Amino acid sequence: MRRSAVLAAVACACAVAAAPAGATTECRGLQVCVPITGPWVLAAPGEVQFQLACPKRFVVGGLDAELSSRGIDVGFVGRLGSPVNPGITTSKEAVFLGRFVRGRDPAPSFRPHIGCVPASGGGQRTPTAYTAFPPGKAVERRVFQIGVRPGGTLRYVGRCLRNERLAAATHAVAFYGDAPPTATLAHTVTVAQRVHAGRAELTIHATSAASGAHAFVQLDLLCVAL
């Protein structure tokens, strides 16, 4: 994959990479399913978030992940509603939550997988007559894919839309490949994040050893409508 300052193509690559047959279970029990394989995402003691998307007109029907270490805890963000089902609990994207909780893995990482099913199978939430507000979508997630610059430093600024304010920002470092990144490769990319004046500022440094590694940084912004 060709690198550029901003890897807009990375999101498309996520939507076409298929998992090896039988390796993971994101499509188990689903009659029509498109398996999508993400990159290896570096985990840390603090929570790391990574979003993986389905192709157009598909929603997430199943999830799985590969771990480089048993000491990694992985979950996902699901919406409230009944029944727990594609189109209600999940949407066209899945946000994975990873955290390295135990062990001595020098480069802990996880590779997310989603199984995508036709969106027409999803249910709709029925409005209720309660006086209390039902759970809704209080924030919008704005996701940016940023390519690294081997042997150099890149500064990137992420913003919400004009009619939104920034509530929180997280970032994740990821590598495409069949195997998890080695400790040496994992340490070739470092990121410093700063939130200032309603925007998220990243300083991404990559050593020359990152050349050819297909590395990128995903910046996730949680934005609230004004």
pLDDT of the residue at 200: 98
Lowest-pLDDT choice from 127-131, 172-176, 189-193, 202-206: 127-131
For the stretch 41-63, pLDDT in tens is: 999 999 999 999 999 999 999 99
In this prediction, what percent of the chain has a pLDDT beyond 70? 82
pLDDT at res. 122? 44
Q: What is the pLDDT of residue 136?
A: 52
Worst-scoring range by mean pLDDT, 3-12, 79-88, 177-186, 198-207? 3-12
Q: DSSP letter string over the chain?
A: ----SS-THHHHHHTTPPPPTTT--TTTT-SS-EEEE--EEE--SS-EEEEEEPPTTEEEEEEEEEESSTTEEEEE-----SS--BTTTB-SEEEEEEEE-SS--SS-EEEEEEEEEEGGG---PPP---SSPPP----EEEEEEEE--BTEEEEEEEE--TTEEEEEEEEEEEE-SSSPPPHHHHTTEEEEEEEETTEEEEEEEE-GGGTTS-EEEEEEEEEEE-
80 confidence band (pLDDT: 50, 70, 90): confident
Mean pLDDT value of segment 153-159: 97
> Which range, of 23-32, 110-119, 190-199, averages the lowest pLDDT?
23-32
Average pLDDT, the chain: 85
Q: Is the pTM of this model over 0.85?
A: no
Average pLDDT over residues 55-78: 95
pLDDT (tens digit, 9 = 90+) per residue, 178-193?
999 999 999 999 999 9
Segments making up each domain of the chain, as ranges: 9-124+135-225
Q: Binning pLDDT at 50, 70 and 90, where does residue 132 land? A: low
Can you give the pLDDT at residue 87? 83
Asked if the model's pLDDT at residue 66 lies above 90, the reply is yes
